[in-house]
Structure 1
Amino acid sequence: MTDWLFSPAPTPSLPIHGSPQRFPVRRILCVGQNYAAHAREMGHDRAEPFFFTKPADAVVVDGADPVFPLATANLHHEVELVCAVGVGGTIAGWAVGCDLTRRDLQAAAKDKGRPWDAAKGFDQSAPCGPITPGPLPDPAALIALSVNGEVRQSGRLDDMVWNPDEILAKARTLWDVRPGDLIFTGTPEGVGPLQPGDRVEASIGGLEPLVFTVKPR
């Protein structure tokens, strides 16, 4: 019997602004508590950021709308600057991303000292806009997210505890960072819940915006 045989899934990829080429996603690394105000709203003092991961196929691309996930009653938005790692393991481009989080599952995992995988690495948990190649347009750019036209998150990139170059250097001490890696660099304060039907607009000055609607299951 050959019922178990199947073709490999296609490699997830992101569009590159101004280019017909696409960026193949190898894996997704994420930094937690990298904005001091967000760390405080989550009940923590300012501290060294730490990493968690999402699978490459968690990325949601090309303006697609993620489906409200299973097993949660408290889905949260977290707007983030995303670094795209290119040839030589350097940051080759940037995008606007949204780290969707099953906050109730995360809280339960924290209480029991368990991993966050189910809270962070679920299907369609990483909507991401197109990659803009080159240097970051402005380290002081505004980063913001609105839901149904209401601003929920607003900050500046230079509010980050660790800047992107420092984050990349830290990641290299833990992984063999390679082309195709995405690094979500943390979120400012104002994270909050999403419901099916909510329209999310996320932006960072100088980058292509990320817009999606949460679809009902």
Structure 2
Amino acid sequence: MIDPHQRFQNALDGLDTAFAPLSKLFVPVGGCTHCYTAAGLEALAGRVHRVPEELLFSVAYKTPDHWDDFPGLYRRLTPRIVRLLTADQLDHAMVASRLLAADWRTWPAPEGMALEELWDAWWRSALHTHPSTGDIASILETLSVTTGTLAPWLAAWTETRTEASDLHLADALDHWLFEGELADLHLGFYDEFHATPQLLPWLLSLEDGRIGAAHLIEVERITYS
């Protein structure tokens, strides 16, 4: 079996390959001229690898109404945005919500398949390393919001019986239980995904010992109250 970390690196490279034809095109970009200069819009229209990083950050955070064709622009920049995301340099919830706004599921099959492979490889790589690059709950937020489900990600967590995986679980519970958030947990920048209905049953289904006693008491209290 390929090393999870090597698979993740391969998936990042595969993302670049899948989007390469699009990234080499010159595509005119129309956008908010209050926020972007003509030179900035021209840079965004050119080869993706030449787009200055500060412009990538700006596109990743600005609302879609800043652009004449937000889905087209975000699609072209996705490989570079995702690299920043997986390096924990962008807000996970924001990027997930922006990918939904860009309607990534409608993109050509090679691009969609490359993203799906990247999601799975990134998740499994993170589960095998503690601490990981980026908070595990935030990574899970990206994946669940983007794909509309927690099921495959929780299934992978169940089957990953490593010390790193269990340490991540404890960290995630600290995050989800803060101020009782787990009782009505919504994920995504705009709270698009309601996580509690899938998350609570999964936590209670885990083998004895994977959740510490203090955390388990809180999970059961929320479930049965």
* TM-score bracket for the superposition, by shorter chain length: under 0.3
TM-score (norm 2): 0.22
Give the number of the structure whose alpha-carbon radius of gyration is greater: 2
Which of structures 1 and 2 has the larger relative contact order (alpha carbons within 8 angstroms, sep 6+)? 1
Which structure: greater strand fraction? 1
TM-score (norm 1): 0.22
Which structure: greater helix fraction? 2
